[in-house]
Amino acid sequence: MMHGHTHGVKGGMERAALFAMQAEADVLLHGHTHLPRQEWLDAGERVAGQILQKPLLVCNPGALQDGRFGTLTLNNQGILFGFGSL
């Protein structure tokens, strides 16, 4: 989980995704762009010159100041990210 500004998410997700991959994360939850996002990167995809060894869920809930939020559910069945609004 990161705000995203230190990994340049406004210019693209590669640096942030590479950081998550190197940390062996299953989920990259970030902010900074204020744009809702949910994307699965599949194992075998190339990210910043590296090959993902396992799937990575990249998500951004949007901006709470705009009334948007996200929910992240982790259980034995998998990972679920959802969007909500106030």
Quote the CA–CA distance of 45 and 64 in Å, as a whole number.
31
Higher-confidence residue of 80 and 11: namely 80
**Dihedral, 70, 74, 75, 80 alpha carbons, nearest 10:** 50
pLDDT above 80 (res 3)? no
Do residues 64 and 35 lie in contact, with contact meaning Cβ atoms separated by under 8 Å? no
Q: Report pTM.
A: 0.84
- Residue range 9-35, pLDDT digits in tens: 777 778 888 888 999 999 998 888 888
- Residue range 28-62, pLDDT digits in tens: 988 888 889 899 999 999 988 999 999 999 999 99
